[in-house]
Amino acid sequence: MMTQRQASTQTKSFSGKKTGLLIAMILILMCTGQAWAQSSLGDLVREGGNEWLIGTWKATTDDGDSVTLSYKWELNKNMITTTVDTPEFESKSIIILSGADSEVKQVGADTMGRTLEGLWTGEYGVAVLRQTTTDQYGDKEVTEFTVSQKDSKTMTVSIRNISNTGWSDSYPEMTIELKRQAKP
């Protein structure tokens, strides 16, 4: 038969083991949960084979106009800033990984007063941006940009209009080849 003191010590010991086990389980769950949730934009870009996009790219159109496209890592590879510079307009935007739904989103604006919102998808080194551009009157236009690497110094961008039903044109409205620029 146990004395009152022995029973109390045994209960405390068992209770302490339970608490320690519970704390250990909570810490393990928190750490593994953080590891799953910690996929960064940089990780996704690398896993998708699209790290080659980062840098500055230039092209000359058939009309002789210069187009510059720049992708730059920011915030420990949790954001990409983009700049598109043409004679007609300039746009700036950011690309982020949405924590809520794990989608790669782009949001920005241009010198013509338009706002830009898009969603990036892609695989096998081909990136696709489906972008909605809204002008100052609220009119919207949806465009799809397919970005692929021709070689280590050449990027191809194909631009397709998206209909009201969500289908893209069979053939690109425009395709442009851009050349990687040396780092300054």
The domain defined by 42-180 carries CATH number 2.40.128.20: yes
Q: Rounded to an integer, what distance in angstroms lies between the CA atom of residue 138 and that of residue 36?
A: 39
Residue ranges per structural domain of the chain = 1-38, 42-180
* CA-based nearest residue to 102, from 145, 53, 46, 38: 38
Q: Rounded to an integer, what distance in angstroms lies between the CA atom of residue 184 and that of residue 178?
A: 17
Both tokens of 80, joined, read 């990409």
| Structure confidence by residue, pLDDT tens digits, 113-130 | 999 999 999 867 788 999
Q: Which residue has the higher pLDDT, 23 or 86?
A: 86
- The pTM (predicted TM-score) of the whole model is 0.74
Confidence class for position 16, pLDDT limits 50, 70, 90? low
| Structure confidence by residue, pLDDT tens digits, 129-170 | 999 999 999 999 999 999 999 998 999 999 988 877 666 667
Average the pLDDT over 8-20 and give the result.
50
